[in-house]
Structure formats: C-alpha cells, structure tokens
Amino acid sequence: MVDMPAQNPQRIVLPPHRERARRPRIVRLREWARRNLFNSRAGTALTIVTAIILGLLIYGVIYFVFVDANWRVITDNRWLLFAGGYPMDQEWRLWFSVGFVFLLIGLTYGTWASLGRRDHLFIVLASGFAILLLAHGGAAIWSTLWYLIAVGLLYAGYAITIRMPREAGPGRTLQQRSVAGLLIAALPIVLIVLLAFGGARPRELEGFVLNLVLAPVGIAGGLVIAIPLALGRASRMKAISWTCTTYIEVVRGAPLLGWLFVALFILDDVIGGELIVRAMVVLAVFTAAYMAEYIRGALQALPGGQSEAAHAVGLNQFQSMQLIVMPQALRISIPPMVGQAISIWKDTTLVTVILPLRELKGNADSAIAQFEFTPDRIEAYVFVAVVFWVVAFIMSRISQRVEGSLGIGER
C-alpha cells in the first residue's frame, strides 16, 4: 500500500448547510403550553384549578417546614430516633455499618449501572436533608462528619467500579462476583459489627437502626425461604407441592399484624428467645410467601426450551435449576420482588404496634410523649414518613438501574 499523503487533496464538498431556524425558547414553551395545558376550554379550566391547588399545597408545605414547624422535636431527640437504646459509647459501630453499606451501594451502582443526573441530585438532596437534621442539635458534629465520610465512601465505591471495563471477560466476572459476594455477606457482617464483641444486646437495637436491621433480614430470609418454596409448589410430587401451596395460602391469607401477634404469644412457647428474633422470623416467613409466588410466576414465564437445552447438554435437574432456570427466573421477578421489599420495609413499623420493640415510629411516639413536645406530633410523623420514603426511593432507584443493565441477557 502506498502511504497516504499527509494532506488529502480531495476535499469532500458538502452541500450548503441549511441552518434550521430554531425558534426562540419562549415561543416553543408557549406552544408546548398551548398544546398541553390550554388545548380547550375545559382543559384551561382544569389547568387553572390544578395550579391553584398545587400552589396552595406548596405554600402550605413551605410555610410548615420553614415557619410553623418546631423541628426541635426531631433535633433534640436525634439519638432517640436514630438508635434509641443503643449504647452511645458504641456509636462507631453504627457509623461503621452505615459507611460499609454506603460503600456497597456505590460498588453496586458502579458495577451494574451508571448514575443518571437525577440520581446524583437525589443523593445530594438526601444527604443535605440528613446532615441538616443531624447537625442542628449542636453536639451532632461528629455524626455529621461520620455521615459525610459514608457519602464519600458511596462515591468512592462508585468512582472505582464505574471506571472498570464493562466488556464481558474474566476481570468483569471477578468484579461482579466480588460485589455480589459482598452484598450477600453484608447482612451478617453488619449484624456482627452491631452486636458481637462488646456491641449492643439484641434488645438494645432501637429506632431507625432497628428498621434498618429488621427489613434486610426479612427480605433476605424471605428470599432464602421463597426459592425452595416456589420450586416445591411447582413440584410434581404431590405431597411437596401441597405442603408448599398450603404454606403460601395460609401465610398470605392473614395480615402481617396477625402474624406478629402469633410471634408475641405463640412463638414465645415454641422458640422463645429474643423478641427481635421472633419478629425477624415472622417477617421472613411472611415475605417468603409473597416472593415464592413471584418466583413461581417467573418460572412459568420462562420458555421451556431453556431447561430442555440444559438437559440436552447433559446437566441434571439440579444443575439445570441452579445454573439456567433460577438465574433467569430471579431476574424476571426483580420488579415485584422490589415492590415486596419496599412493602416489608414500611411494614417494619408494625413491630411497634404489637411487640414491645421500639423502631423509628415507636420512638417518634416516645419523643412526642415528652411534655415539651406534645404539640409537635405532626413534625415527628412527617419526619418519620420522609425517612421511610427516602429509603424506599433509594431501593426503587437501585433496582431500576441494576435491572436496566441486567437487560443485556434479554432475548
């Protein structure tokens, strides 16, 4: 081949580029408004009514948050709401766990998804919210520092993993396996950090920390029970399938509240032990019944050719389940599973109603039971609601991102 001359004499002549007249932004905006907001007389009326209602609402919220509300009910009870009876001198254990979990969230994000603009915005807002509340009380400067370190870890985990190559290959596989392994190990690690080697006694887990412990145990435990349950229900052996079906129908047939009563009174005689352990068992058993049904649905949605192909390459029934069918079924069932996870996250508040376990909402009740804060119950409950919403939203966000990037294996 002859070397190309450094300057290619042949210029490609493009036809004259016609700049498409871009109308000014305000004109486009006006047209958009006409099409979407004022397209008819009724539409205009609806728009105006909605705008008035929205305006009143927003004004109300802003007035309440910045003028009317007495947030001292939160800031003065910061520790009560956050960790309750957890020994204060062991605070580092809580923050170590928070940092570890934040790091994991970052690693998960970076490995399977990339953060959108909205995610960054959301993390910053949530952090700002948390820091404002934590820092307000005066003595909380250390908490703020801890929290900032945790957010830093989140971004560090993200920054490290997002730069790693995405193409399939041994390195990528190793990365995915390590993060997945850490995710599986996270719950036991956190429990050990919180409780073992001079940590708190189980009954000293309180406040927000208790919700944060109960929900993952319920979700993870539920998943572990749900997989064999789903397979059992689909089994051809009648005894197994009937047993599993009965379990699912009985558990789903009664409200969680009812099962927590069972934990309080009946399980006391059967397994005894710590109340918190009983609550965990009930949450896991309850979640499992729902998750099993989602998995069963996914199993049915999977094309039969998959297990046939697995058998044709010589895999036995167990290997076919473990390597081919289950991974795909679990992926299909991610959206309803996350719904269930969010639902059980919120349902952790129920343990206060039945069992003398003091989670976030329970300790909010204690906060407003103090004489000086009795008028501030709305503030307390708004705070609790926002905290629950933030965590639920994080769960939903992560799952959406991860689900999107797992779509690579879709047919």
Partner 1 sequence: MTTETASMPARDLESAEDIIIAENVDKWFGDFQALDQISMRIKEHEIVVVLGPSGSGKSTFIRCLNRLEEHDSGRIVIDGIEMNDDVRNLNAIRSEVGMVFQQFNLFPHLSVMNNITLGPRKVRRMPKLDADALAMQLLERVGIPEQAEKYPAQLSGGQQQRVAIARALAMQPKIMLFDEPTSALDPEMIKEVLDVMQELARSGMTMIVVTHEMGFAREVADRLMFFDEGSLVEEGTPQHFFENPQEERTKLFLSQIL
For residue 409, state whether it binds partner 1 (rule: CB under 8 A): yes
CA dist., res. 241 & res. 336, Å (int): 23
Q: Which amino acid is at 7?
A: Q
Which one of 3-11, 235-243, 255-263, 305-313 is the stretch in contact with partner 1 (CB under 8 A)?
305-313
- Beta carbons within 10 angstroms of residue 185's beta carbon: 11
For residue 165, state whether it binds partner 1 (rule: CB under 8 A): no
CA dist., res. 217 & res. 188, Å (int): 9
Nearest to partner 1 of 50, 317 (CB atom):
317
Exactly one of 308, 356, 370, 372 binds partner 1 (CB under 8 A); which one?
Answer: 308
Which residues have a Cβ under 8 Å from the Cβ of 78 and sit 6 or more positions away? 133, 134, 137, 140, 143
CA dist., res. 249 & res. 289, Å (int): 8
Exactly one of 90, 319, 349, 396 binds partner 1 (CB under 8 A); which one?
Answer: 319
Nearest to partner 1 of 333, 363 (CB atom):
333
Exactly one of 310, 337, 382, 384 binds partner 1 (CB under 8 A); which one?
Answer: 310
Nearest to partner 1 of 193, 315 (CB atom):
315
For residue 316, state whether it binds partner 1 (rule: CB under 8 A): yes
**Where in 234-381 does DSSP place strands (E)?**
none
Q: Which amino acid is at 52?
A: I
- SS3 for 359? strand
Exactly one of 327, 335, 356, 375 binds partner 1 (CB under 8 A); which one?
Answer: 327
In the complex, minimum distance from the CB of residue 195 to partner 1, in angstroms, rounded to a whole number: 37
For residue 5, state whether it binds partner 1 (rule: CB under 8 A): no
Which residues have a Cβ under 8 Å from the Cβ of 99 and sit 6 or more positions away? 146, 149, 150, 153
- Beta carbons within 10 angstroms of residue 170's beta carbon: 7
Of 276, 296, 274, 273, which is closest to residue 284 (Cα–Cα)? 276
Exactly one of 328, 333, 352, 363 binds partner 1 (CB under 8 A); which one?
Answer: 328
CA dist., res. 232 & res. 230, Å (int): 5
Nearest to partner 1 of 16, 407 (CB atom):
407
Nearest to partner 1 of 281, 332 (CB atom):
332
CB–CB of 86/94 below 8 Å?
A: yes
- Beta carbons within 10 angstroms of residue 92's beta carbon: 12
- Residues of span 210-229 touching partner 1 by CB under 8 A: none
- SS3 for 120? helix
For residue 255, state whether it binds partner 1 (rule: CB under 8 A): no
CA dist., res. 196 & res. 262, Å (int): 29
- Residues of span 169-198 touching partner 1 by CB under 8 A: 169
For residue 42, state whether it binds partner 1 (rule: CB under 8 A): no
Instruction: Give Cα separations from 328 to 60, 172, 235, 298 (angstroms).
Output: 48, 19, 18, 8
For residue 166, state whether it binds partner 1 (rule: CB under 8 A): no
Nearest to partner 1 of 66, 318 (CB atom):
318
For residue 411, state whether it binds partner 1 (rule: CB under 8 A): yes
In the complex, minimum distance from the CB of residue 180 to partner 1, in angstroms, rounded to a whole number: 14
Exactly one of 51, 323, 353, 385 binds partner 1 (CB under 8 A); which one?
Answer: 323
Where does this chain bind partner 1 (CB under 8 A)?
Answer: 167-169, 303, 305-306, 308-316, 319, 323-324, 327-328, 331, 408-411
